[in-house]
Structure 1
Amino acid sequence: MKVRIKGLGILLLIAGLLLAACSGGATEETDAGGTAVAGTEVTTGAEGAVNVADETKVVHDQFGEVTIPAHPQNLVVLNSIYAEYLIEMGITPQIVLYTPEVEAEYRPAYFKEHGVQIIEIEQYQMNYEQLLALSPDMLLTAGEGMEQSVYDELSKIAPTVALDSNSEMTRAMPKLAAIFDKSEKATSILTEFDEKAKQAREKIAAALGNKTVLVLRVEHDRYRFMGPKGGNSSIFFYNTLGLNSPEAIKDSTVWFNPFSLEFLPEMSPDYIFLEDRTLKGYDTKQSMENLKQSKLWKNLEAVKNDHVFPLKTSEFTSGVGPIGSVKLMDYVVEKLVP
């Protein structure tokens, strides 16, 4: 009798093992965001933890469909603004590319605090060999304005998501959130930011009324003004904060427009945020001196009233996001509201 029970137990054990093997085969499921997840064989360790490193999903980007890891283990973000968006949503990338000359001052400590490795790069340069050496299992960058050839080269290194967006928060963050199933968190962050922006906008409107604000960029061989309908950071200054642009440029749809100093009296702003363009190997000293020595500049009401405020390139080009944009917002309010 004991022999028969023992034999039956062995048969049941074998049957159980066979059933487990069958159930561990390839499957296709749907994640919480509705994206198809191709599950390769799922294994468990001694403590029963599921290995999801091989799971993938298909997402859409600027260039079509791309299959990416559902849970990337070495995510390299080519855009530091995107890295901030991800971290604030609870997704920490392993590596971020970083251009020291144009990065906001708070970012290095911010990334270090969250355990993100910083790889310094030159602005406007794409070093494919450097990226390959990082052994990423996924690359993430802004796709708007990217050439197909660049995307193709990046895709040879690792699955690449070139988001069909620029870096502007209200556009990029929801798209990033959809990829990483963080839409609820993104909505919460944007709602909180909108409330802060509303308060700042109301303070500025009460203080300035119809007075106008110009964002002026000084470059090494020319001057440019920010068009209020130019997208990018134009949205932040003229939409989010509700600043009034000079009447002469109110319909400009170019982000930064070249102009001669003779145009200054026609713009005649009440307030000026003056950017001394920062770029590696870039020298703006002569242009800045020529501007400040110009009688046309000296005769502006904004200059006479000491209503000219410095603006760092990094503060509104790369230093944006849930943290950086609030810092910039506070700075603008500090300068414009008594």
Structure 2
Amino acid sequence: MYGKLMRFGVLMLALGMALSACSGTSGKQEETAAEKTGSVATKVVRDQFGEVTVPVQPKNMLVLDSIYAECLIEMGVTPQLVSFVPEIEPEYREPYFNDHGVKMIAAEQYQYNYEQLLQLAPDMILLRGAGLEKDAYDDLTKIAPTVALDSNSEIEDAIPKLADIFDKKEEGSKVLAEYREKAGQTREKIAAAIGDKTVMVLRVEHNRYRYMGAKSSDSSAFFYQTLGLNSPEAIKDSTDWFNQFSLEILPEINPDFIFLEDRVLVGYDTTKSMKELKESKVWNGLEAVKNDRVFPLKTNDFTVGVGPVGSVRLMDYIAEKLAP
């Protein structure tokens, strides 16, 4: 997921002399101890790779996942620094971070600039553990104590673990309660409008097409579990997040509604694929297309914009299209 990361020989020597983190056996996120080290209060937490000693009150925390940064802010913990990839962030997030005084550090997608991170002098680093390579984690621990949260981007899973680390269980429960209430209202509104009609998320990529599986995690869970949307029968048992398919099977899938994603990725061009789709007889023969039941879906909104704030915005957008 994070790609092959560049190593800098000279830099690694410098990193070895910088702040180091403690790692040990794997386990669930939880605070296990608190102690004084010099004048800085610390505690031991568990992450995806083991135990980590972190400051009780970080003064220069760097979050390498903007979804997690949003979760923390909504729980009353404002990080000082957040990694920010402008091309893939939802529109609302930059002003959101600005409003909360979080400094955004421009970054490349799937890359870590270790020299840049070292210069930031964080006293704690927090990022998503799902898909993280151990070598990348080890390099980050040479910069500052690093917590690789044993989670993905689903806030139902991530928020309780973040709340444990920062002693914000009550606040985390409140954020999730509000999220669930909103989700329930949206689910009922959509169900009343479309009943058991089916919804497909179709991703247009460079030289290929993929559909979202209904039994995966991340945004799949958001669409098909949180909002209770029905997947077309032909693809309802897919456990992969996105599945490649040929346009010729679209009539077999035959969704009542389609959310169409024109995939955004740095250095990516979907122009040819989108043109071929729109000109396809198979595409234009679908009832969803003929009945104007195809709606655009921004990559940034449903892959990166799924924090507590972004999820509500996405719910409103989906409801606006399915239950106007």
TM-score (norm 1): 0.86
Q: Please, which runs of 5 or more residues in structure 1 have no aligned partner? A: 1-32, 43-53
Q: 1:34, 1:144 → 2: CA distance? A: 20
Letter in 1 for 2:186: A
Letter in 1 for 2:36: G
Is residue 311 of structure 2 the alignment partner of residue 314 of structure 1?
no
Letter in 2 for 1:37: A
Q: 1:62, 1:296 → 2: CA distance? A: 46
Alpha-carbon shift at residue 40 of structure 1 (Å): 3.5
Q: 1:281, 1:160 → 2: CA distance? A: 30
Change (3 A) 1:34 1:166: closer
- TM-superposition CA deviations, 1:38-88 (whole Å, max 9, x none): 12355xxxxxxxxxxx11100000001111111111000000000000000
Give the 3-state SS of the residue equivalent to 1:68 in structure 2: strand
- TM-superposition CA deviations, 1:273-320 (whole Å, max 9, x none): 000000122111110000010000000010000000000000011101
Give the 3-state SS of the residue equivalent to 2:210 in structure 1: strand
Is the contact made by 2:223 and 2:229 (CA closer than 8 Å) also made in structure 1? yes
Q: What residue number does 1:97 align with? A: 83
Give the 3-state SS of the residue equivalent to 1:122 in structure 2: coil
- TM-superposition CA deviations, 1:83-102 (whole Å, max 9, x none): 00000000010000011111
Letter in 2 for 1:227: G
Q: 2:224, 2:71 → 1: CA distance? A: 22
Superposition CA RMSD, Å:
1.0
Q: What residue number does 1:207 align with? A: 193
Is the contact made by 2:31 and 2:45 (CA closer than 8 Å) also made in structure 1? no
Letter in 1 for 2:76: G
Q: Please, which runs of 5 or more residues in structure 2 have no aligned partner? A: 1-29
Q: What residue number does 1:72 align with? A: 58
Letter in 1 for 2:245: F
Alpha-carbon shift at residue 329 of structure 1 (Å): 0.1
Structure scoring higher RCO (CA < 8 A, sep ≥ 6) equals 2
Q: What residue number does 1:21 align with? A: none
Indicate which of 137, 152, 156 corresponds to 2:142.
Answer: 156
State the identity as a percent.
67
Letter in 1 for 2:189: K
Q: What residue number does 1:36 align with? A: 33
Alpha-carbon shift at residue 267 of structure 1 (Å): 0.6
Is the contact made by 2:48 and 2:150 (CA closer than 8 Å) also made in structure 1? yes
Change (3 A) 1:34 1:144: closer
Based on CA coordinates, which of the two structures has the bigger radius of gyration? 1
Give the 3-state SS of the residue equivalent to 2:308 in structure 1: coil
Alpha-carbon shift at residue 35 of structure 1 (Å): 3.8
Is residue 49 of structure 2 the alignment partner of residue 63 of structure 1?
yes
Q: What residue number does 1:171 align with? A: 157
